[in-house]
Amino acid sequence: MNICRLVLAATFILSGFVKAVDPLGTQYKIDDYLEAMHLGGLLSGYVTLGASVAQAAVEFCLGCFLLFAIQRRLTSRLILLIMAVMTPLTLWLALANPISDCGCFGDAVVLTNWQTFWKNVVLLACALVVVRWPRDMFRFVSKANQWIVINYTLLFAIIVSLWSLYYLPPFDFRPYHIGTDLRDGWQRTMEGEALPYADLFIERADTGDDITEAVLADTSYTFLLVSPYLEQADDSRLDLINQLYEYAHAHHYGFYCLTASTAANIERWTEMTGAEYPFCLTDGTTLKTIVRSNPGLLLMKDGRIIGKWSHNDLPDIDDEQAQRPLERLRIGHMPDDSVAERIMAILLWFVLPLALLVLADRLWTWTKWLRRRRKPHEAQTSHESQTPH
């Protein structure tokens, strides 16, 4: 039974976490599901985004609650309900194949629809075992202190989602992450290799010229302002975007705005923002994959991605820095933090506090047990001392 419990807990925690670090990616997948069911456009973007954050929080919390044996009956029944719904749904996906993958683990682990279905069959069997014997789960935290785990887990899941929305996902599992040699990947794709760059193209909006190879072959720095649809873009950082373009122009760096918007929307954006940078057309889905922000900013050097920023966190180059080339600025180099450091940060902020809580709770439970054992012994000793001999 506990093996089934651990399998379910690990799966739900992983699934919830990768959704929490990429809520926009989960929203796009929800939109794909709605389109496949001929319900596209029925729900607003705010509703699907809220559903994305809620789904991540529910999966992550249920996995943690099952791991800690919190609300054992309720948790096991909710997981069984979810698997009872998802298993036939993924069978339909496997048979009809309306979308390429279910998005269960985001871009971290991509499964085929049939692999997803058989995975859910195994999880459904595990859920049936767990719901049959919920009281056999060993508690890691006493019932009196479960509220701490419940609130902390829910708060952590929501904060991770909001952080990833405001900035960018702390873990980027997509083929456009920082460090990617985009030129090499695109060239190999053009030579026939099965790499995820087939839909990457950069076409001048004014002339129609394809400049993909020229942009990727540039051995200097190139800024790419990415906005899948300009009519939906956040316009709160326009001054900073124009400042970055002026800096790039002064130092002879490339600067292009990549979009899938129509000519009319490009013209409207230009009039509204006073943009002087050139616009290029690119596939909208590819742009959503490149950066989870609208707009977002990419910095490449010699065909390699060395920087990505959300519109909420664009680099601010002051007057003194504007005189120096990118080689002498921090943003001109890949960030120092590694994947291992980000994983360590997650461990410190989530795993370590819960581990300390478990330790403190076990000590507290042990001391209560000792006190209970001492009371009858002390009462007996007191009674014997008062009895006349």
9 and 129 within one domain = yes
Scored b (16 or more CB within 10 A) or e, 320-356 reads eeeeeebeeeebbeeeeeeeeeeeeebeeebeeebee
Contact by Cβ (8 Å): 254, 324: no
103 and 208 housed in the same domain? no
Q: Over the Cα atoms of the chain, what is R_g? A: 27
Does residue 100 sit in the same domain as residue 34? Answer: yes
Instruction: Give me the residues of the chain with pLDDT under 70, please.
Output: 369-370, 373-389
Residues 208 and 96 in one domain: no
Is residue 98 one of the residues assigned to a domain?
yes
Same domain, 107 and 19: yes
| Same-domain status, 212 and 251 | yes
Whether residues 94 and 212 share a domain: the answer is no
Residue-level pLDDT at 384: 54
Tokens of 367: 């001391």
| CA-closest candidate to residue 363, choices 136, 139, 142 | 142
The pLDDT value recorded for residue 381 is 57
User: What is the per-residue pLDDT for 306?
Assistant: 96
What pTM did the predictor assign?
0.86
* Domain assignment of residue 95, yes or no: yes
How far is Cα 138 from Cα 72, in angstroms, rounded to an integer? Answer: 10
Residue 64: give the domain boundaries: 2-166
Residue 349 lies in a domain: no
In terms of domains, do 222 and 262 share one?
yes
Residues 12 and 108 placed together within one structural domain of the fold: yes
Residue 177 within a domain: no
Residue at a domain's end among 284, 307, 334 = 334
Domain contains 82: yes
CA separation for the pair 320, 333 (Å, rounded): 18
Q: How far apart, in whole angstroms, are the C-alpha atoms of residue 298 and residue 269?
A: 19
249 with 327, same domain: the answer is yes
Q: Looking at the structure, do residues 15 and 152 belong to the same domain, yes or no?
A: yes
Look at residue 256 in the predicted model and tell me its pLDDT: 97
Q: In the chain, how many domains are there?
A: 2
Helix (H, G, I), strand (E, B) or coil at 86: helix
Q: What pLDDT score was predicted for residue 258?
A: 98
